[in-house]
Amino acid sequence: MKKLFLSTICLMMCFAAFSQTEEEMKAWEAYMTPSETHKWLATLDGEWDADITMWMDPSQPPIKSKGTTTNKMIMDGRYQHSEHIGEFNGMPFQGQNLVAYDNAKKKFISTWIDTMGTGVMILEGTYDDKTKTMKLSGTMVDPVSGSDLNVKEVVTYTSEDSHKFEMFIVMGDTEMKSMEIIYNRRK
């Protein structure tokens, strides 16, 4: 039964592949092939030390902590997986990020999960080579109301061994900076 199922799937895939035009095949090949942008993303692979500043209330002093991040390209250079370890307010913290560069959309797509929630933050945006800045926007859940919050992330690359991450909560025309992380490559 299992062999019959696998044979049927294989036959369907072969039929689909042969039924595509040459133009469609080229589009799929371009879509699945890591690009120069993926190679640039891979330059961020490695171990990073993180100096973290968080603003829970803009009228109060920020909360400071330290952490580490490990970035690694996966699936033959198509995606970057990041593992974040640290603490927040004396509690252990772990987060994971998956960054893709979608060759068809010409945009970065980022998903974030961590131990401070059960939802997924999803963002997308672009990188400006002139300013060395990646700007992503999207949504995350507000656990108090259960509704979506608009968020923006700005990552500024200062050198091959350091970059700055900033996160903002966006309410209409107002942006409140909620986090800043200074990353330095671990030597």
| pLDDT values of the chain reduced to their tens digit, one per residue, 187 residues | 566 556 666 555 655 555 578 888 898 899 999 999 999 999 999 999 999 999 988 889 999 999 999 999 999 999 999 999 999 888 999 999 999 999 999 999 999 999 999 999 999 999 999 999 999 999 999 999 999 999 999 999 999 999 999 999 998 889 999 999 999 999 8
pLDDT, position 34:
96
From the list 107, 121, 129, the residue with the least C-alpha distance to 178 is: 121
Residue 7, CB-side half-sphere exposure with 13 Å CA sphere = 4
pLDDT, position 158:
93
Domain ranges within the chain, ordered by starting residue? 2-32, 36-185
Q: Which CATH number fits domain 36-185: 2.130.10.10, 1.10.645.10, 2.40.128.20, 1.20.810.10?
A: 2.40.128.20
pLDDT, position 56:
87
Find out whether 75 and 55 touch, Cβ atoms under 8 Å. no
pLDDT, position 4:
58
From the list 124, 101, 98, 125, the residue with the least C-alpha distance to 112 is: 98
Q: Name the token pair of 5.
A: 């199922």
pLDDT tens string 90-126: 899 999 999 999 999 999 999 999 999 999 999 999 9
From the list 134, 181, 137, the residue with the least C-alpha distance to 162 is: 181
Stated pTM of the model: 0.85
From the list 116, 49, 58, the residue with the least C-alpha distance to 89 is: 116
